[in-house]
Amino acid sequence: MTTTKAKILVVDDDATLLGLLVDTLTVIGYNAVGVPGGIEALEALSGKRFDLLITDIKMPGMDGIALSKKVRRHYPDLPVLFITGVATPEIIGRASPDGFLAKPFRINHIEELIENTLKNRPETVSRQIRKVMVVDDDQTFREMLADALRFDEYIPCAVSSGEEALRELERGEIDAVITDIRMPGMDGITLLKQIKERQADLPVILITAYLAEEDIKKQSVHDLADGFIRKPFRVEKIVEMLNGLSPLRTSEPSA
């Protein structure tokens, strides 16, 4: 039995097979989650980070081929394995999965395929930034920046205060934080320090219209922050910073 706790997302419209596969992978030692289709899979991927996707090919609505193409575009470092009883080698070849098993298959075969796939997965994949928290008490600016990040295919999470930001961090995974400095209650510098105490490797970018670089240095946070930019600024500057902090993120022109 494997000792890994890798998170695996399983996609199949056959409820019986889906339940059996999820239960089996859980017993083996994986953290397995099952969903019945491609749309549900994309929703799950937008909320949590997974180490591997296992999907059936023939499904109503969005099939496994279409799902894998979207995953390749938005999550380029997520391995994809196909399980199916209908696809030809030509179809499999065009979809370029990381592995393939024909139904029916033995559980030990899929366990071996999973282990080999995860073994070859780059260790740096966890550094990819997808979900970005925006913290600012200015609602107009907060929503504008969130919309701009969404346009660049990030997943924004917008909150109005440092206190709310810390509560949100406790609820789920956040890949990066962009926070204003001057806010009522907990200011951005205090928020930065508290984030780094809890998650030292979580990137935090400070934005402000009031403090200069010299003031940041005086407050002993220059080495803690992963980026610093003064308002007003072009949104492209923030995107450039996030891309720099997420070396595995790739861009693909829209079709």
| Domain CATH for 54 | 3.40.50.2300
Let me know whether 136 and 231 are in one domain: yes
Q: Are residues 132 and 216 in the same domain?
A: yes
The sign of the dihedral angle between the CA atoms of 20, 24, 26, 27 is positive
Q: Which of 9-13, 164-168, 198-202 has the lowest mean pLDDT?
A: 198-202
DSSP, res 145: H
Residue 253: the pLDDT is 36
The backbone torsions φ and ψ at residue 34, rounded to the nearest 5 degrees and listed phi first, read -115, 140
pLDDT at 249: 42
Helix axes 15-28, 107-119, angle to 10 degrees: 60
Distance CA 125, CA 78 (A): 8
Same domain, 50 and 149: no
108 and 215 in a single domain? The answer is no
The total number of structural domains that make up the chain: 2
| Token digits of residue 137 | 């008490």
How far apart, in Å, are the Cα atoms of 225 and each of 55, 61, 169, 193?
39, 44, 17, 9
Same domain, 84 and 191: no
As a whole number, mean pLDDT of residues 124-131 equals 61
Q: Does 183 fall in a domain?
A: yes
DSSP code, position 75: -
Would you state the pLDDT for residue 248? 45
Model-wide pTM > 0.75: no
pLDDT digits (tens, 9 = 90+) for 77-113: 889 988 877 655 545 555 556 777 777 777 777 888 8
Q: Is the pLDDT of residue 121 over 90?
A: no
pLDDT of amino acid 19: 93
Give the model confidence (pLDDT) of 184-232 as tens digits: 999 998 999 999 888 888 899 998 776 555 555 545 565 678 888 877 7
Q: Are residues 226 and 135 in the same domain?
A: yes
Is the residue at 77 inside a domain? yes
**pLDDT value for 179:** 94
Last residue of a domain, which of 90, 121, 152?
121
pLDDT digits (tens, 9 = 90+) for 229-251: 877 777 788 888 887 776 444 43
Residue 1 lies in a domain: no
